[in-house]
Amino acid sequence: TKHFPVRKRGREMLTRGRRAVRAVDDVDLTLRRGRVTALVGESGSGKSTVARLLAQLHPRTGGEIRLHGEPVTVKGGKAFRAYCRRVQMIFQDPFASLNPVHTVRYHLTRALKIHGRAGSTAQDQEQALHELLTRVQLTPPEGFVDKFPHELSGGQRQRVAIARALGADPEALLADEPVSMLDVSIRLGVLNLLRDLKERLHLAILYITHDIASARYFADETLVMYAGRMVEGGDSETVTQQPAHPYTRLLIESAPDPDRLAPDAESAAPAEKGSGEPPSLIAPPSGCRFHPRCPVAMARCRIELPPRFEVADRPGHWAACWLYDAAVTS
């Protein structure tokens, strides 16, 4: 039996939210600068909970989050504050995340000031604002800086939310469904912007989505969540082209068109197509949580929880599924 190493190390950010809340269990992921990691799953899989835990918006009841190998534990402590600056969140609904009574200038200046980056003179401040807007391709910046959220399109609002996050000079962005509420026609533009920022600013990005087709397009690495657990992971090309876990296969079969960004709503994702509904996280099924819906379930699947197995001959590709238990198959 070959176990995938559960814990990754390095100078990169390590996050570990084991038994963090009841909704999420045995979650283990590492974000690296210059890399997009997609966390894919249907509604209720726990993927947003993971983002909120990493953003410290949920109190953790266990587990560990590390930044550059250092545990981030004490709320309000120095390490905690540094973490909150370095790890910024982008939400699904840019309208809800911006205050409607304030202009773009207010939102961005506030972010810069909180993080001590506003500059000392009015001129410095204006320049910092313009740089942020230019970075998210809202140009000329003079045309946007005094606008209110309702005067902007959804895509422009999301760009302002991204600019605000960049105001902290972060190392990592946690983006929870950042394009799913936007028009299909502008989704690609926002994802391309994030990719561009990843490269130019050497950011780590966690991209949370229900849309595995977009993960293939946008992410370097893809992790799949089901019922609060991670069930498959590897580089995006491999996971989306040669999925190993029966749940990932179901996700891909249900995606409307693998070469396009899926236009459907989160709730319309694969549950209807596969047999059965995603299980309750309060009382998840025994053994493999996917077994009630799995077309190839075996007797042991109902009883034993599968650990992560490396998929044969594919280094870095793993699946938490008994089909890959080398002790049985070889």
Q: Write down the least CB distance from residue 229 to ligand SF4, Å.
A: 11
Answer with the entry of Mg ion, ligand SF4, none that 125 interacts with (C-beta below 5 to 8 A by kind).
none
CA distance 2 to 18: 21
Answer with the entry of Mg ion, ligand SF4, none that 186 interacts with (C-beta below 5 to 8 A by kind).
none
45 token code pair: 């899989």
Answer with the entry of ligand SF4, Mg ion, none that 48 interacts with (C-beta below 5 to 8 A by kind).
Mg ion
Fill in the per-residue mask, 35 to 74: x = in contact with Mg ion (CB under 5 A), - = not in contact: -------------x--------------------------
CA distance 167 to 286: 45
Q: Write down the least CB distance from residue 278 to Mg ion, Å.
A: 13
Report the run of H or E that residue 128 belongs to, with start and end.
Answer: helix 122-135
Length of the chain, in residues = 330
243 token code pair: 């999925």
Residues 284-323, interacting with ligand SF4 (CB under 6 A): 288, 290-291, 294, 296-298, 301, 306, 321-323
Nearer to ligand SF4, 157 or 245 (CB): 245
Cβ-proximal residues to 208 (8 Å cutoff; 6+ apart), any chain: 38, 39, 47, 48, 50, 51, 174, 175, 176, 177
Cβ-proximal residues to 301 (8 Å cutoff; 6+ apart), any chain: 287, 288, 291, 294, 322
Q: Which amino acid is at 268?
A: A
CA distance 78 to 189: 37
- Site residue total, Mg ion (CB under 5 A): 1
CA distance 121 to 283: 57
Q: Write down the least CB distance from residue 178 to Mg ion, Å.
A: 11
Q: DSSP per residue over 41-87, as a string?
A: --TTSSHHHHHHHHTT-S--SS-EEEETTEE--STTSHHHHHHHHHE
Residue 284: DSSP 8-state? P
Answer with the entry of ligand SF4, Mg ion, none that 14 interacts with (C-beta below 5 to 8 A by kind).
none
CA distance 208 to 70: 24
Nearer to Mg ion, 176 or 232 (CB): 176
- Site residue total, ligand SF4 (CB under 6 A): 14
Neighbour tally for 273: CB within 10 Å: 12
Residues 236-255, interacting with ligand SF4 (CB under 6 A): 245-246
Q: Write down the least CB distance from residue 210 to Mg ion, Å.
A: 8
Nearer to Mg ion, 48 or 238 (CB): 48
Q: Write down the least CB distance from residue 287 to ligand SF4, Å.
A: 7
Nearer to Mg ion, 48 or 240 (CB): 48
Q: Are 32 and 204 in contact (CB under 8 A)?
A: yes
Q: Write down the least CB distance from residue 45 to Mg ion, Å.
A: 9
Fill in the per-residue mask, 75 to 114: x = in contact with ligand SF4 (CB under 6 A), - = not in contact: ----------------------------------------
Q: Write down the least CB distance from residue 231 to ligand SF4, Å.
A: 7
Q: Write down the least CB distance from residue 48 to Mg ion, Å.
A: 3
Q: Interface with Mg ion includes 180 (CB under 5 A)?
A: no
What residues line the site for Mg ion (CB under 5 A)? 48
What residues line the site for ligand SF4 (CB under 6 A)? 245-246, 288, 290-291, 294, 296-298, 301, 306, 321-323
